[in-house]
């Protein structure tokens, strides 16, 4: 892998084998998460359904009767 400087920022060049393992293709957008000093996870950009599943994981984490007050949050 190589980090390359582009006019709009930095890019990471991935080997063809890794791109095919991810089921991706040239020009695709991927998510990269740093997991340690020299470690990271690469995954395909989440689609809508996967994002909704992740949001549903938060159900039940707020106390019963909790009501979000937008005015209070922005003061």
Distance of alpha carbon 55 from alpha carbon 74, whole angstroms: 23
Give Dmax (Cα) for the chain: 51
pLDDT computed for residue 74 by the predictor: 92
Q: pLDDT for 22-70, tens place per residue?
A: 888 888 878 888 999 999 888 876 677 778 888 888 888 888 888 999 9
pLDDT computed for residue 19 by the predictor: 85
pTM: 0.46
Q: pLDDT for 1-21, tens place per residue?
A: 889 999 989 988 889 998 888
Does 40 reside within a domain? yes
Give the number of domains in the chain. Answer: 1
Does 75 reside within a domain? no
Does 24 reside within a domain? yes
Tell me the CATH number at 14: 2.10.260
Does 35 reside within a domain? yes
Q: 41 forms bridges with which residues in the sheet?
A: 33
């Amino acid at each position: 892998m190589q980090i390359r400087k582009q006019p709009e920022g930095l890019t990471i060049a991935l080997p063809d084998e890794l791109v095919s393992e991810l089921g991706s293709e040239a020009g695709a957008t991927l998510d990269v998460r740093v997991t340690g000093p020299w470690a990271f996870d690469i995954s395909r950009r989440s689609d809508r359904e996967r994002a909704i599943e992740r949001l549903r994981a938060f159900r039940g984490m707020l106390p019963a009767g909790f009501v979000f007050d937008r005015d209070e949050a922005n003061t």
